[in-house]
Structure 1
Amino acid sequence: MLIDVIIPAFNEANAVGKVIAEIPAFVRNIIVVNNNSNDDTRKVSLNAGAIVLDEPQKGYGKACLKGIAYLEGLKQSPDVVVFLDADYSDYPEEMVNILEPIFQDNADMVIGSRAKGSREYGAMTLPQVFGNWLATKLMFKLFKADFSDLGPFRAIRWNKLKALNMQDEDYGWTIEMQIKAVKNGLSYTEVPVNYRKRIGVSKVSGTIKGVFGAGYKILWTIWKYR
């Protein structure tokens, strides 16, 4: 299988190089989407061997869509796309565990669940933990979706990703993918992943504005696709 990785990155110069260095060698393309950073994210990513795309409009989903658009232009499409954060909170070497259900033809999409794995103390804030719990409970109630986390470390078959017609340009990206996967009949599963304190301050959980903005968008996305 051809595996490509998309890494949205906003001001992650201190972390993104470490993430790239620990991605397994079987990955074909590592694509860092520089999301209007004003630090050395672009330079560090290039020096680490990644393909770097610039997306001047801020937004997690916007950066992911930029990466997808790049893959659409390749002569040979990937079989699977992995999404991974640039802050070094995930363990890139665990990618093989996330991909295993797809390799075994048991799933179209796999979510790395921080709720089922081991979390370093302080790696997730109380609003993050509560928000994930609430969102997954609402998804189960409204869509019968069996998830424990909205974890950003995930893998999905390329043809299935394309069929989802992803639209969200910011905080609703992860939950939009999960809801649409269920509504479109994709087979999915979760695998436990470990989680550590990120390098630097989170743009979401590290600010009051980010916490409320993400929470509102996640709830709005659930309501939108109900």
Structure 2
Amino acid sequence: MDVTVEVILPCLNEEAALGWVLGRMPDGYRAVVVDNGSTDRSAEVARDLGARVVGEPRRGFGAACHAGLLAASAEVVCFMDADASLDPRQLPRVAEPVMEGAADLVLGARRPRAAGVWPWHARLGNAVIARGLRRRTGAPLHDLGPMRAVRRSELLALGLNDRRFGYPLEMVLRAAAAGWRIAEVEVDYLRRAGRSKVTGTVLGTLRAASDMRRVMAGHM
């Protein structure tokens, strides 16, 4: 199979979801699973299913994302959660505008497909961040979508520093400051396998929001 896009999947104890996620990778898309200190069989399962597995012992969503970015070699990379809340078969929706030169960064705006998929506290926090981004950058964003696509070399050149939950936000802020064309497409948001480390609890959502406020304040 000719690989045109690499898909970076930050992973912390997602053994139950990986079979479905990796089994739905489109042709030409190769998974790079970044094991961020899992205590289950995530790394072994991913390897057995043909994914490239990268270890990142330093805990943090941004640390895992960046480790995958450094390990990748494809010109275009995607980021996506490994918890089965997003369908890999929709990756071309976000990747193709970048591959065709129509956009520099594309985010997948989540559209819930079942009741209770997106808890109120997480949805509210996301809406506040998205409104701030629209006001700050002018980019037509309504979701800080975890499924996204970008050219690897250009993203590396932005020099992202955050290694926690602020990484996705810093990506958008730095891209906007660099004059990138930022776009948004709709993707399905599904019921994830297991409980989310972020949106599954109010505390997790508050922790992520705190990281994002810190990043936003640093880019005033």
TM-score normalised to structure 1 length: 0.92
Q: Deviations over 1:136-157 (max 9, x none)?
A: 1112223323211011100001
Q: What SS does structure 1 have at the residue aligned with 2:68?
A: helix
Query: Percent of aligned pairs with the same residue?
Result: 34
Work out whether 1:106 is the aligned partner of 2:121.
no
Match of 2:65 in 1: 64
Aligned length: 218
Q: Deviations over 1:63-97 (max 9, x none)?
A: 011112212xxxxx311000011100001000111
Q: 1:199 aligns with which of 173, 178, 193?
A: 193
| Counterpart contact for 2:69–2:152, Cα < 8 Å | no
Work out whether 1:11 is the aligned partner of 2:6.
no
| Counterpart contact for 2:33–2:54, Cα < 8 Å | yes
Work out whether 1:137 is the aligned partner of 2:139.
no
Q: Which amino acid aligns with 1:188?
A: I
Q: Which amino acid aligns with 1:12?
A: E
> d(CA) in 1 for partners of 2:204 and 2:42?
21
Q: 1:174 aligns with which of 168, 181, 188?
A: 168
Work out whether 1:223 is the aligned partner of 2:217.
yes
| Counterpart contact for 1:90–1:196, Cα < 8 Å | yes
| Counterpart contact for 1:34–1:52, Cα < 8 Å | yes
> d(CA) in 1 for partners of 2:219 and 2:140?
16
Match of 1:54 in 2: 55
By how many angstroms is 1:54 displaced?
1.2
Work out whether 1:35 is the aligned partner of 2:29.
no
Q: What SS does structure 2 have at the residue aligned with 1:194?
A: strand
| Counterpart contact for 2:22–2:49, Cα < 8 Å | yes
By how many angstroms is 1:103 displaced?
3.0
| Counterpart contact for 1:160–1:186, Cα < 8 Å | no
> d(CA) in 2 for partners of 1:132 and 1:168?
18
Match of 1:74 in 2: none
Match of 2:184 in 1: 190
| Counterpart contact for 1:145–1:179, Cα < 8 Å | no
- Could you list the runs of 5+ residues in structure 2 that have no partner in the other structure? none
Q: 4+ residue runs of structure 1 moved beyond 6 angstroms?
A: none
Q: Deviations over 1:118-144 (max 9, x none)?
A: 432111111111111100111222332
Match of 1:213 in 2: 207
Match of 1:126 in 2: 120
Q: Which amino acid aligns with 1:4?
A: E
Q: What SS does structure 2 have at the residue aligned with 1:64?
A: helix
- 1:125 to 1:16, Cα distance in 2 relative to 1, 3 A: same
Q: What SS does structure 2 have at the residue aligned with 1:15?
A: helix
TM-score normalised to structure 2 length: 0.94
Q: Deviations over 1:168-188 (max 9, x none)?
A: 111101111111111111112
Superposition RMSD in Å: 1.4
